[in-house]
Amino acid sequence: MQPSRTILLVEDEGPVRRLIARILELAKYNILEAIHGEDALSVSDAFSGEIHLLVTDIMMPVMNGQELATRLSALRPGLGILFISGYPGKHIPEGLENRAKVEYLAKPFKADVLLAKVKTLLFESGFA
């Protein structure tokens, strides 16, 4: 059996974050939760293991998802990134659209669509 992969989930809306975390936990992923970008950097710093994927909302208080993804990618090379957002408009933030391991998912989404995106990103990152 394949070891569990660790996903850092960053979402400022508590009920949404808990629902996504539960979906991912049921799929046997290890989930680290954060409420905004600064919190996510602290969670990442405190976690000594490998983080395989960042799932982050784009629009958040304190630090947006694009800045978080840029900063965390520098600290954890090879990190896959899944941006999620309920806002219409540009899907992948500027400067990150040409990265191979970056995807976007519009809210609301179904659990199977989320899990398919996660699986694809983990595969592209070499963690499948």
In a domain, 1, yes or no: no
Strand segments, DSSP code E, in the chain are 6-10, 30-34, 53-57, 80-85, 102-106
Host domain of residue 85:
6-124
Strand partners, 34: 10
In a domain, 12, yes or no: yes
Q: Whole-prediction pTM value?
A: 0.90
In whole angstroms, how far apart are CA 114 and each of 20, 24, 30, 49? 9, 9, 15, 23
pLDDT (0 to 100) of residue 1: 40
pLDDT (0 to 100) of residue 104: 86
Alpha-carbon gap, residue 56 to 23, rounded angstroms: 15
Cβ(68)–Cβ(10) under 8 Å?
yes
- What's the whole-number mean pLDDT along residues 78-107? 74
Rounded to the nearest integer, the mean pLDDT of the chain is: 87
Check residues 98 and 54 and name the one with the higher pLDDT: 54
State yes or no: pLDDT of 6 exceeds 50: yes
State yes or no: pLDDT of 13 exceeds 90: yes
In a domain, 100, yes or no: yes
Alpha-carbon gap, residue 1 to 14, rounded angstroms: 32
Strand partners, 55: 9, 82
Q: Alpha-carbon torsion 70, 72, 74, 78, what sign?
A: negative
How many structural domains are present in the chain? 1
Confidence of residue 2 (pLDDT cuts 50, 70, 90): low
- What's the whole-number mean pLDDT along residues 114-128? 86
CATH of the domain at 17: 3.40.50.2300
